[in-house]
A and B are shown apart, each in its own frame.
Chain A
Amino acid sequence: MKPASALPAALKDALIAAAVSAAIFIPLVALRTDVGPTGALTLRTRWPEAALLVGLVFLGRLALVLWTGRRGLRASTAPGPWTQRLQQAGRLAAPAFLALALVLPAIPGVDRYWLDLGILVLTYVMLGWGLNIVVGLAGLLDLGYVAFYAVGAYSYALLAQEFGLSFWVCLPLAGLFAAFWGVLLGFPVLRLRGDYLAIVTLAFGEIIRVVLINWVSLTGGPNGISGIPRPSFFGLPFSMAGGEGTFAGFFGLEPSPSHRVIFLYYLILGLALLTNWVTIRLRRQPLGRAWEALREDEIACRALGINVTTTKLSAFALGAMFGGFAGAFFATRQAFVSPESFTFIESAIILAIVVLGGLGSQIGVAVAALVLIGGTEVFRDLQEWRMLVFGGAMVLIMVLRPRGLVGTRTPSIALGKKRAIGGDLVGEGRG
C-alpha cells in the first residue's frame, strides 16, 4: 500500500475502532452510579476518563494500522519459522524446565513464598495435563473438570478424618473415586456431542459443588472440613517438636517449617510428572492414538472397529483420576477444604490453560500454566490492572495463535523423521 493512500484508510479504520470503543466505554466507564449519603443512588459521570480511553484506542489503532498495514497481524496455525524455532528450543527447554523445577528448592534466595508459588503453578500444570487428556487428545469439551478435583479433595479429607487413613493410602483411593465419578458422568453424557456435552459437564460441576454445600452432615456444608491431616514423610510427621519419630528428628536435622513445604513441592512435582509420563506413553500407544482419532473423526473410528463409548470413557476416567490426585494433594496442602475452592472459575482457568497452551501439547500446557498462574502472582503489584493485563494477553495470544502457543501436533510414530503437523489440519473435536 502506498503511503499516500495509507493515511486516509488508516484514519478511517482508527475512527471505526474508536466508535466501537466509545460504545463500550460510555456505559461502562463514563456513567457510574454511586450510593449517595442518603442511601439513594446518584449518577456520577466520568467523561474525561472515557474520552482518554477512546483516544488511546484511536491512537493505538492508527499506529498499528500505519505500522503493519491493514492485514498486518495475521492469525496463524501453521508451523511457521517461529514455531519451528520454538520446537527446537522446546527440545532443550523441556529438560531445562524440568531441571529448574527439580533444583528450585535448593536455589539460594528461593524462600517459602517462591516455593508456595511453585506448588500452586505445579498444581495447575497437573490439572492442565489431566484435562488435556480429555479436551486435547480425545476432543471432549469438559467445562466441569473442577468436579473431579473436588471429589479427590473431599475423598481425601473424609477418608483421612473418618478412618484415619494415611495420605499414601488415600491418594490412590481419591484418584479411583474421581475416576469412578468420571465414568458415572460419562455413561449418560458421552452420546452428546460438542456444545451439549459442554453444558452437561458444566452442570455436573455445579451439581457436585451444590451437593457439597448442602450435604452438611457429611461435608460440613459451607464451613468445609478443617484439620485435615498433613502428609507425613512415609510415616514420619513433619513436626516442630523435633522428637524421635519426626522427619527432622529421624534425619538429625534442625526442625524447620520449610521441610514440609519442600516435601509438598516435590510431591506435586512427582504427581505432575506422573501425569505427563502416563500421557506421553499412552499417546504413542493404541489407546492414545484412538483418542486422537476420535477427535479427528468419530464415524471413521466406528467403521474401523473402535468402540467409541469405552474409548471416550477411558479418556474421561483417566482425566478425572489425575484431577482426583490433584484434589487430594490440594486437601493435604491446605488442611482445609470448602466448596468455595471448587467454583466454575476454576474449571474455566484450567480450560484456559489447556486452550492457550495448545490442545494436546504437553509443553504448551506447562508454559501456559506458568504464565497464567505465575503471571497473576508476579503482577500482584499492578493490583486492579492485573486482570486487564491478563485479559489483554489472552486476547492477543488467541488472535495471533488461535490454536494456542503450540498449535502443531507431533506424530506419535514415523518411519523417518517426525515432522510437526499444522494446526489447521488437526481436528478440534466436536465431542
Chain B
Amino acid sequence: MTPPILEVQRLTMRFGGLTAVSSVTFAAGQGQITALIGPNGAGKTTLFNCVTGFYRPSEGVIRLHKRGVAPTELQRLPGYRIARAGVARTFQNIRLFPGMTALENLLIAQHGRLMAATGWGIGAVLGLSRYPAAEREGVERAKRWLSATNLMDRADDPAGALPYGQQRRLEIARAMCTEPALLCLDEPAAGLNPRESDELARLLLDIRQEGTSILLIEHDMGVVMRISDRVVVLDHGVLIADGSPAEVRGNAKVIAAYLGEDEEEVSA
C-alpha cells in the first residue's frame, strides 16, 4: 500500500449534543486522489473543515506526512498555519476575492513566501529587499497555474466578473499557488456542465501527476469513479466503506446509504 499523506485517527466532532463525525479513521495515500463521498448530511464537509483547520475536532488525531518532514498534527495548529503546513482547500460556495484580478488572487495565495521576501513589509517600503525578484517568481508561478487552468487571457479581469466554471478553476489555481502537499476540494464539480466536468477531471489528474495528493468531496459520481484511486464513504458521521472505486461501488452498505434501503434488508 502507498504511504499515507494524511492520516485521520478516531476523529470525532460534536456540536453540542449532535455528533456530526463519529470516530472516523482513514488514510489518504501519497500521490493519490482520495474521494470522500456520502449522502447529504453525512458529515463530509465537517470532516473537511476539521482537516483544513476551520473546526477543532472534539477528539482524534489528524496527521500530515510530508515527504522529508516530521509528521505534523494538524488539529493542534491555529487555522492559518494549516495552509503553511501544506494543506490547501477550496470552498463549496466559491470564495474568491471578487474585486481583485485573477492574477492578484493567485499572488495573495503566495502571501507567506512573498511577505518573507519583503522583510515583513518594512524593507519593501524602503526599497531594500529581494522583493522584486520574489514577485517576478510569484508572477511566473501564477502564470503557470493560469495556463494550467486555461485562464491566461482572463488574468487581468476581476475574479467576480468571471463565469462560474472559470471561478471554480481559478479557486483551484489559487489553492495550488500555496504549493500544497495535499489539496482539499469541496465539491469542485458542483454546477459544472459535462464538458467542464471533463476538463476538471483532467486538471485534477494533472495535479496528481505533479505529485500533489488530493482529497475530494464530490457528488458527481462520474467524476469520482473515473479519477479516484480510493473512495471513502461516510453516512451519518460514520465510516461505512473504504476501498477502490470498484469495491465501493459493489458495497451493499454504500448502496443502502444512497438508496435508503432498510437496515434489516442490508444485514440480512
What are the interface flags for A268-302 relative to B under an 8 Å C-beta threshold, 1 for contact and 0 otherwise?
A: 00000000001001100111011011001101111
The interface residues of chain B lying within 8 Å CB-to-CB of A413 are 101, 103-104, 107, 135, 139
Does A411 contact B96, Cβ atoms closer than 8 Å? no
A417 on interface, CB distance cutoff 8 Å: yes
Name the one of A290, A300, A421 contacting B99, with C-beta atoms under 8 angstroms: A421
B227 on interface, CB distance cutoff 8 Å: no
The interface stretch among B3-11, B111-119, B194-202 is B111-119
B174 on interface, CB distance cutoff 8 Å: yes
Please give me the residue from chain B that is nearest to A308 by CB atom: B80
What are the interface flags for B4-46 relative to A under an 8 Å C-beta threshold, 1 for contact and 0 otherwise?
A: 0000000000000000000000000000000000000000000
Does A285 contact B80, Cβ atoms closer than 8 Å? no
What are the interface flags for A402-431 relative to B under an 8 Å C-beta threshold, 1 for contact and 0 otherwise?
A: 000000010111111111011001110000
B72 to chain A, nearest CB (A): 14
A107 on interface, CB distance cutoff 8 Å: no
In the complex where A285-B124, A411-B104 touch, is A296 in contact with B98 (Cβ < 8 A)? yes
The interface residues of chain B lying within 8 Å CB-to-CB of A282 are 121, 124-125
Does B108 contact A293, Cβ atoms closer than 8 Å? yes
The interface stretch among B63-71, B155-163, B206-214, B251-259 is B155-163
A306 on interface, CB distance cutoff 8 Å: yes
CA gap between A411 and B105 in the complex, in Å: 11
CA gap between A308 and B121 in the complex, in Å: 15
CA gap between A118 and B8 in the complex, in Å: 65
Residue of A299, A416, A425 contacting most chain B CB atoms (<10 Å): A425
B84 on interface, CB distance cutoff 8 Å: yes
Please give me the residue from chain B that is nearest to A412 by CB atom: B104
Name the one of A278, A300, A303, A421 contacting B158, with C-beta atoms under 8 angstroms: A421
Please give me the residue from chain A that is nearest to B126 by CB atom: A281
B66 to chain A, nearest CB (A): 15
The interface residues of chain A lying within 8 Å CB-to-CB of B104 are 289, 411-413
CA gap between A416 and B118 in the complex, in Å: 24
The interface residues of chain A lying within 8 Å CB-to-CB of B54 are 299, 302-303
Please give me the residue from chain A that is nearest to B109 by CB atom: A304
Does B84 contact A303, Cβ atoms closer than 8 Å? no
A89 to chain B, nearest CB (A): 22
A305 on interface, CB distance cutoff 8 Å: yes
Does A305 contact B112, Cβ atoms closer than 8 Å? yes
Name the one of B84, B91, B107 contacting A305, with C-beta atoms under 8 angstroms: B84
In the complex where A278-B125, A303-B89, A304-B178 touch, is A297 in contact with B95 (Cβ < 8 A)? yes
Does B95 contact A411, Cβ atoms closer than 8 Å? no
Interface size on B, residues (CB 8 A): 47
CA gap between A305 and B177 in the complex, in Å: 11
B134 to chain A, nearest CB (A): 9
- 8 A Cβ contacts from B112-146 to A: 112, 114-115, 118, 120-121, 124-125, 131, 135, 139, 143
Name the one of A306, A421, A426 contacting B108, with C-beta atoms under 8 angstroms: A306
A416 to chain B, nearest CB (A): 5
Does A305 contact B83, Cβ atoms closer than 8 Å? yes
Does A302 contact B161, Cβ atoms closer than 8 Å? no
The interface residues of chain A lying within 8 Å CB-to-CB of B88 are 303-304
In the complex where A306-B108, A307-B80 touch, is A300 in contact with B121 (Cβ < 8 A)? no
Does B156 contact A419, Cβ atoms closer than 8 Å? yes
CA gap between A297 and B100 in the complex, in Å: 11
Please give me the residue from chain B that is nearest to A281 by CB atom: B125
Does B97 contact A296, Cβ atoms closer than 8 Å? yes
The interface residues of chain A lying within 8 Å CB-to-CB of B82 are 303, 305
B122 to chain A, nearest CB (A): 10
Please give me the residue from chain A that is nearest to B95 by CB atom: A300
Name the one of B79, B81, B97, B139 contacting A292, with C-beta atoms under 8 angstroms: B97
CA gap between A289 and B121 in the complex, in Å: 11
CA gap between A306 and B120 in the complex, in Å: 13
In the complex where A286-B111, A415-B155 touch, is A305 in contact with B99 (Cβ < 8 A)? no
A361 on interface, CB distance cutoff 8 Å: no
Does A425 contact B98, Cβ atoms closer than 8 Å? yes
B249 to chain A, nearest CB (A): 32
The interface residues of chain A lying within 8 Å CB-to-CB of B143 are 415
CA gap between A415 and B156 in the complex, in Å: 7
Does B52 contact A290, Cβ atoms closer than 8 Å? no
The interface residues of chain A lying within 8 Å CB-to-CB of B97 are 292-293, 296-297, 300, 427
B145 to chain A, nearest CB (A): 13
The interface residues of chain A lying within 8 Å CB-to-CB of B83 are 303-305
A386 to chain B, nearest CB (A): 36
A332 on interface, CB distance cutoff 8 Å: no
Please give me the residue from chain B that is nearest to A289 by CB atom: B108
The interface residues of chain B lying within 8 Å CB-to-CB of A409 are 99-100
Name the one of A296, A297, A305, A414 contacting B178, with C-beta atoms under 8 angstroms: A305
Does A427 contact B79, Cβ atoms closer than 8 Å? no
Residue of B79, B104, B110 contacting most chain A CB atoms (<10 Å): B104
- 8 A Cβ contacts from A31-57 to B: none
The interface residues of chain B lying within 8 Å CB-to-CB of A427 are 97-99
Residue of B124, B131, B135 contacting most chain A CB atoms (<10 Å): B124
A155 on interface, CB distance cutoff 8 Å: no
A132 on interface, CB distance cutoff 8 Å: no
What are the interface flags for A72-105 relative to B under an 8 Å C-beta threshold, 1 for contact and 0 otherwise?
A: 0000000000000000000000000000000000
Does B125 contact A293, Cβ atoms closer than 8 Å? no
CA gap between A289 and B135 in the complex, in Å: 13
In the complex where A296-B97, A297-B96 touch, is A304 in contact with B156 (Cβ < 8 A)? no
- 8 A Cβ contacts from B152-197 to A: 155-158, 160-161, 174-175, 178
Name the one of B80, B121, B157 contacting A287, with C-beta atoms under 8 angstroms: B121
A94 to chain B, nearest CB (A): 20
CA gap between A190 and B261 in the complex, in Å: 50
A314 on interface, CB distance cutoff 8 Å: yes
5 A-B residue contacts at CB 8 Å? Answer: A303-B89, A304-B174, A305-B112, A411-B104, A425-B98
Which residues in B have some Cβ–Cβ distance to A below 8 Å? 52-54, 79-84, 88-89, 91, 95-101, 103-104, 107-112, 114-115, 118, 120-121, 124-125, 131, 135, 139, 143, 155-158, 160-161, 174-175, 178
Beyond known contacts A286-B118, A413-B107: 5 more, CB 8 A cutoff: A286-B107, A286-B111, A289-B100, A293-B108, A303-B91
